[in-house]
Structure 1
Amino acid sequence: MKQMTFKVANKIIWFSSALLGILMAVPKIAERHFNIYETIANSVITFLFTLFVWYYNMVTLPVYSSRDIAKGFSVGRLVKNLLLGIAVMFLLACLQQFLLTHLEFGPQMLMIEVRGILLSLTFYMFIHLLYQSYHNQQVSIELERSRTDNLGAQFELLRQQVNPHFLFNSLNTLKYMAESGDEHTVDFILKLSNFYRFTLESRKLDLIKVSQELEIMDAYVYLLRARFEEGIDLTVSVDKGLHNSLMPPFTLQLLVENCIKHNIVSLDRPLKIRVYSDGGFIIVQNNIQLKKVPEASTGMGLENINQRYVHLLGKEIEIRPSENLFTIKLPVIYEYSHN
């Protein structure tokens, strides 16, 4: 995975360092024999060491790998951090002794070293936890982006499946109608043109109005009826109030295509398809009369539609097969959340 840069604002680093320096001065101020020079020296040492700990950890963080993050805290880095902190605090203690020669070096150095260890340990764990949280958040974002891109590519491929076979069959039907002088030839050409115009206009959209989707389905079914005649019995009764709601383009067309793909369609055994609304759903339902030799299927059609609804609405479609009917319930998508 690509390495990501983790940063903490300089303002936060300097403010927190100054605040710790001031807090360390409070016990000195409360002493009976208050010495302003010792207090200032004590605060400055804490301030400088906190700055060092912040920036040292920030510089070394980018060398962490995702493997290190997965393992948790690195004991080796922690020990290295503590040893370096002890060394830096020793130098600061020597500086304080040089400026304030009246202080006893031993007790002062011990107090400063203990403070340094506590600050090093606390900041190491705190910054590491921040970095781990940041890293996990970035991974989640990348996974979601990859999932979305993959889902879009799958759905685009699914929509493109409409073109080759359907166009081939439609052109064969058109050829037959033209040769036989069918009076509906012109209407067929217009519907075919409209259908592919819808395809071009909607292919880049995530959502279109239900009224537009019904037009796409109507054009598609008209073309199918030129082949199957009364073998397809489609009834549509979607509430007018839902015509301005939304759905992913070609959803209804793909569901009708799915019905025809898996069931017998003939004049003797017409395939009855209902598209209607009920509550917060638009429902596609057909009677089951499965083909003896089923067509090859990847099983991705319904799953792609379901994933689109999960992605766009956070809800799954409902698939309810029974002995005689196959029902798919599509949640209604409104333009505004308050609906």
Structure 2
Amino acid sequence: MKIRLLLYFFLCFIFCFLNFLEDLQEASLPLALTEVILIFPMSFGFTLGVFFIYRRIVKIPFYLSKNELNRKLFLYSIGIVIVLLLSLILRFISLQLFNDDKNSQFFDTLFFAFFGIVGVFVFFVFSIEAYLASEQQKNELRIKLYEVELDSLNDKYISLKNQLNPHFIFNCFSNIVSLIDKDSEKAIRFVEELSSVFRYNLTTSEELLVKLSDELKLLESYIKLQKIRHEGSLHFDIKIDASKLPFLIPPLTLEVLVENSLKHTIFDKSNPLYISIYSIGDLLVIENNYSPKAIMETESLGIGLKSIEKQFRLLGKKLPTFKIENNLFKVELSLIDPSDA
């Protein structure tokens, strides 16, 4: 309401100022100022009157029940009626107060002058209000569409996480089964460490993003799991800038990337798998020696990597890169600043 009042105050001021400049060319400064002092409050008061009439009209149930086209027709039909009534009232007042000639015609030049002036004010205010109302509706529609789109993206993101988590868990259980056949004691230790991983998975199930520091804690448990299974065949080197620990990434990202390296690489005690995780600026790099299994499609990103890529896309962040460089399979992820999340 205050913004509207300021808008009409400013517009009336401009109107009166332009009128003042015009009068100044034909009359003296005192006379021009006197006219401004008379015209400004009258024009502003008349504009406010029309504004409040408009506000009353748009709250009428009949108006609200119509579609957009019929609303405009109804609004401007009422506007014409208002213009006619106000012109008649002003003409009647002028005859009673300022005209001693009883033979003057009611519908003379002065009446049509009133009609034109009142019409300009009424349709000026109505047009501004209709435009502002239309813009407000568009903005509200944009907000609703944005909220719907955001909900849709969130649903897609959660769906991806729901796809990723069973994929991760299935591989863990596959590891347990293979260990039971080979070494039951290792299988028991594996299950104990796996409980820490599942506990973290449950606590972050509804999170879109988690701190890198939390992911690294989980990674420690996951590394212990894999070292139990692949004793002497795995080497990890983790060097993360401490300032990047509060930055964010999607949950289970590091575990899925490490799992991808284990799944697609040939390694044993004589030919260990070396996995390095380090930060460069706002990038997180995960790389391992490239020795792909013959039965795997080395061109394929796999379910886990594709899911990570889709999560970054849905979050509107820079997509991760996957490349083979200097006989290393390298993944580069953009760390997400908490202030941008």
With structure 2 as the length reference, what TM-score do the two structures score?
0.69
Kindly name which structure, 1 or 2, has the bigger radius of gyration based on alpha carbons. 2
CA pair 219-147 structure 1, distance change in 2 beyond 3 A: farther
**Alignment check: 8 A CA contact 2:167 2:304 kept:** no
**Alignment check: 8 A CA contact 2:193 2:225 kept:** yes
The amino acid across from 2:211 in the alignment is K
**Alignment check: 8 A CA contact 1:321 1:327 kept:** yes
CA offset digits 1:194-247 (Å, max 9, x no partner): 000111122233443322201222323443455555665543222344334443
The amino acid across from 1:302 in the alignment is I
CA pair 38-153 structure 1, distance change in 2 beyond 3 A: closer
Residue 331 of structure 1: how far off its partner (Å): 3.2
**Alignment check: 8 A CA contact 2:12 2:40 kept:** no
**Alignment check: 8 A CA contact 2:256 2:304 kept:** no
The aligned counterpart of 1:147 is: 149
CA pair 233-190 structure 1, distance change in 2 beyond 3 A: same
**Alignment check: 8 A CA contact 2:207 2:251 kept:** yes
Quick one: which of 189, 192, 207 aligns to 1:190? 192
Bigger CA drift: 212-221 or 47-56? 47-56
**Alignment check: 8 A CA contact 2:244 2:282 kept:** no
Quick one: which of 273, 276, 291 aligns to 1:274? 276
Bigger CA drift: 114-123 or 188-197? 114-123
Bigger CA drift: 110-119 or 99-108? 99-108
The amino acid across from 2:241 in the alignment is D
CA pair 82-15 structure 1, distance change in 2 beyond 3 A: same
The aligned counterpart of 1:49 is: 50
| CA–CA distance in structure 1, aligned partners of residues 153 and 288 of structure 2 | 27
The aligned counterpart of 1:3 is: none
Residue 253 of structure 1: how far off its partner (Å): 1.8
Residue 266 of structure 1: how far off its partner (Å): 4.0
The aligned counterpart of 1:250 is: 252
The aligned counterpart of 1:328 is: 331
| CA–CA distance in structure 2, aligned partners of residues 39 and 222 of structure 1 | 81
Residue 30 of structure 1: how far off its partner (Å): 5.2
| CA–CA distance in structure 2, aligned partners of residues 50 and 280 of structure 1 | 54
Residue 91 of structure 2 is aligned to residue 97 of structure 1 = yes
Q: How many residues align?
A: 313
CA pair 116-122 structure 1, distance change in 2 beyond 3 A: same
Residue 89 of structure 1: how far off its partner (Å): 1.6
CA pair 233-109 structure 1, distance change in 2 beyond 3 A: farther
CA offset digits 1:160-210 (Å, max 9, x no partner): 334434434433543554465544334212211000011112223344332
| CA–CA distance in structure 2, aligned partners of residues 290 and 223 of structure 1 | 22
Residue 87 of structure 2 is aligned to residue 86 of structure 1 = no
Q: Unaligned stretches of 5+ in structure 1?
A: 1-8, 69-73
Q: Unaligned stretches of 5+ in structure 2?
A: 24-29
1:274 is paired with a residue whose SS is strand
2:251 is paired with a residue whose SS is coil
The aligned counterpart of 1:116 is: 118
Give the root-mean-square deviation of aligned CA atoms.
4.5
**Alignment check: 8 A CA contact 1:317 1:328 kept:** no
Residue 20 of structure 1: how far off its partner (Å): 7.9
**Alignment check: 8 A CA contact 1:54 1:123 kept:** no
CA pair 188-52 structure 1, distance change in 2 beyond 3 A: same
Residue 308 of structure 2 is aligned to residue 302 of structure 1 = yes
2:206 is paired with a residue whose SS is coil
The amino acid across from 1:278 in the alignment is I
Residue 95 of structure 1: how far off its partner (Å): 1.9
| CA–CA distance in structure 2, aligned partners of residues 287 and 245 of structure 1 | 27
Quick one: which of 187, 200, 203 aligns to 2:202? 200
**Alignment check: 8 A CA contact 1:228 1:265 kept:** no
**Alignment check: 8 A CA contact 1:195 1:219 kept:** yes
The amino acid across from 1:301 in the alignment is S
Quick one: which of 122, 130, 133 aligns to 2:132? 130
The aligned counterpart of 1:5 is: none
CA offset digits 1:42-92 (Å, max 9, x no partner): 886655334334543576986787xx6xxxxx7x87676555423322211
Q: Summarize the alignment of residues 5-44 of structure 1 with structure 2, pairs less than 5 Å apart.
A: 9=1
| CA–CA distance in structure 2, aligned partners of residues 322 and 100 of structure 1 | 90
